Amino acid sequence: MSSEDQYLQYPKLRKFSMSKTRWGIIGTGDIAKKFAAGLSVLSDSELVAVASRARKTADTFGDSFHVGKRYSNYEALAQDPDVDVIYVSTPHSLHKENTLMCLRAGKPVLCEKPFAINAKEAEEMIVLARERKVFLMEAMWTRFFPLMVRMRQMIADGIIGEVRMLMADFGYRSEDQNLWVFNPNFGGGGLLDVGIYPLSFSHQIFGTPNQISTIPHLNRGVDEQSAAILGYEGGRMAIIASAIRTETPQVAYLLGTKGQIHIHSPWWKPKTLTLSVNGRPAELIEVPFHGNGYNYEAAEVVSCLREGRTESNTMSLDETLSIMRTMDSIRAQWKLKYPME
Ligand SMILES: NC(=O)c1ccc[n+]([C@@H]2O[C@H](COP(=O)([O-])OP(=O)(O)OC[C@H]3O[C@@H](n4cnc5c(N)ncnc54)[C@H](OP(=O)(O)O)[C@@H]3O)[C@@H](O)[C@H]2O)c1
């Protein structure tokens, strides 16, 4: 892809005659690999360093993604003066510790979702970032897809009228219950892993709920599946579901007074939607994306850094905190507390 194409795909990213933004990655797991692949399509970003708990995994990752600097501990990467921004890709329970360490070293951070285990942890991270005036953002990549930008414009233009109801789900079936996502010590369970996607989507459309009704199925200290109905002012509502032992359709619907938007599966990595406006034939709208999709959240970070912003408007820290508080309220209804809480 030419750099011209890249700017067309992501209009907020302006052309600057600056050198490339130098990224470092903490953790070398599944998502770190996908993020590194995403970064590779951004002509103004460069992955310069990776840190793992072990030299061998840092080297393997470094070889795969042509990363020059490989560290066998996370702190060394945080202290590297040649790194401009750090992507934290460790399990949920380590996000706070890893992010605080980077912020203390003065490094901007893109931290994987869920931002933290609970709102208390998230608040600590946000307070430090704001005190130090260092950039921080939750890596809720779904928000930055071109289709999501288009969908937000449709809503703002009132094409489907007032949105009255939202339905969205994200559930997958994992056969391997030895994964950390089944372990309460890591903040496991469906809500924090994938339920956060429909929840974050609901927050984006409706804001903070004033009512929550929810049911989980808990097993061995984590939620294997759950559903929730969130209520908002004026009777608007969101119906959301998540699972880590059940595959779900992974679709999203926005139901308005004048029509509907159906974001096709997988809605959290969207390419197509159907717009149905009352009295008109349904329209299939395709909004493709470049790269593997992770490039768009990275582009947002680069854009913020170059404009001297310490927070993203599309995924603000206030909203991240509000989402964390809603997850706390949902878990409180379930009486699900993690061992570290
Ligand atoms: N945005 C998305 O699409 C998306 C998708 C999947 C996951 N995620 C999020 O990304 C985070 C990581 O998920 P993942 O699927 O990449 O997990 P993963 O494959 O298990 O990788 C996590 C990495 O964290 C590091 N780590 C540090 N301490 C660890 C410990 N005690 N146990 C296990 N790993 C440890 C490891 O890297 P080293 O060995 O190199 O230190 C490990 O490879 C989670 O918070 C998850 O919710 C986001």
Omega cis (within 30) before 91: no
Question: 7 CB less than 6 Å from ligand 1?
Answer: no
Question: 30 CB less than 6 Å from ligand 1?
Answer: yes
**Nearest partner of 128 among 160, 159, 96, 154, judged by Cα:** 96
Overall average pLDDT of the 199-219 stretch: 98
Q: How far apart are CA 161 and CA 155, in angstroms?
A: 8
Overall average pLDDT of the 56-73 stretch: 98
Is residue 226's pLDDT more than 60? yes
CB 45 within 8 A of CB 51: no
The predicted pLDDT at position 6 comes to 38
The predicted pLDDT at position 18 comes to 60
Pocket mutation for ligand 1, best pick of 59, 89, 196, 300 (most atoms within 8 Å of C-beta)? 89
The predicted pLDDT at position 2 comes to 35
Pocket mutation for ligand 1, best pick of 34, 70, 74, 90 (most atoms within 8 Å of C-beta)? 90
Overall average pLDDT of the 235-258 stretch: 98
How large is the C-alpha radius of gyration of the chain? 20
The predicted pLDDT at position 278 comes to 94
Rounded to 10 degrees, the C-alpha dihedral 84/324/96/127 comes to 70
**Nearest partner of 95 among 112, 107, 108, judged by Cα:** 112
Overall average pLDDT of the 237-255 stretch: 98
Quick count: other Cβ atoms within 10 Å of Cβ 104?
14
Of 69, 96, 113, 337, catalytic: 113
Q: What is the pLDDT of residues 139-161, one digit of tens each?
A: 999 999 999 999 999 999 999 99
Is residue 133 among the annotated active site residues?
no
Overall average pLDDT of the 174-184 stretch: 96
Percentage of residues in the chain with pLDDT exceeding 70?
95
Alpha helices in the chain (DSSP H): 3-9, 30-39, 55-65, 74-78, 95-104, 119-132, 146-156, 190, 196-206, 294-306, 317-334
**320 CB contacts (<8 Å, ≥6 apart)?**
115, 122, 126, 137, 138, 140
CB 299 within 8 A of CB 13: yes
Is residue 246's pLDDT more than 90? yes
Go through 260-297 and write b for each residue having 16 or more CB atoms within 10 A of its CB, e for each that does not: bbbbbebbbbbbebebbbeeeeeeebeeebbbbbbbbb
Per-residue pLDDT band at 28 (split at 50, 70, 90): very high
Pocket mutation for ligand 1, best pick of 64, 97, 98, 112 (most atoms within 8 Å of C-beta)? 112
22 phi, psi to nearest 5 deg? -100, 115
The predicted pLDDT at position 228 comes to 98
Rounded to 10 degrees, the C-alpha dihedral 321/341/74/124 comes to 40
The predicted pLDDT at position 16 comes to 40
Q: How far is the CA of 36 from the centre of ligand 1 (A)?
A: 13
The SS3 call for residue 223 is strand
Q: How far is the CA of 117 from the centre of ligand 1 (A)?
A: 14
Mean confidence (pLDDT) of the chain: 94
Overall average pLDDT of the 246-265 stretch: 98
Question: 70 CB less than 6 Å from ligand 1?
Answer: no
Kindly give the number of the ligand 1 atom that is closest to the alpha carbon of 58.
Answer: 40
Q: Which residues pair with 24 in a beta bridge?
A: 49, 86
